């Protein structure tokens, strides 16, 4: 995740993006390249959310 992007990202935005990725994966029509990118992004978002929760 780029520094500027993480400055703009909030917990709610990250969670919403994670939900969007989940919907994309559940539809079963995701190609392998898109799947790999989505899983990598989900990992980044998950780590961000974890940091946010641990910060409270």
pLDDT of 26-53, one tens digit each?
A: 998 889 999 999 999 999 999 999 999 9
Closest by alpha carbon to 52, among 4, 15, 5? 15
- Mean per-residue pLDDT over the chain, rounded: 90
Task: Give the global pTM.
Answer: 0.79
Look at residue 5 and tell me whether its pLDDT is greater than 60. no
Phi, psi angles (nearest 5°) of residue 27: -75, -15
Neighbours of 14 (CB within 10 A): 20
| pLDDT at residue 44, rounded to an integer | 98
Look at residue 6 and tell me whether its pLDDT is greater than 70. no
Look at residue 17 and tell me whether its pLDDT is greater than 90. yes
| pLDDT at residue 4, rounded to an integer | 55
């Amino acid at each position: 995740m780029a520094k500027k992007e993480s400055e703009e990202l909030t917990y709610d935005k990250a969670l919403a993006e994670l939900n969007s990725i989940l919907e994309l994966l559940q539809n079963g029509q995701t190609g392998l390249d898109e799947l790999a990118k989505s899983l990598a992004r989900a990992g980044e978002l998950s780590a961000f959310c974890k940091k946010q929760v641990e910060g409270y």
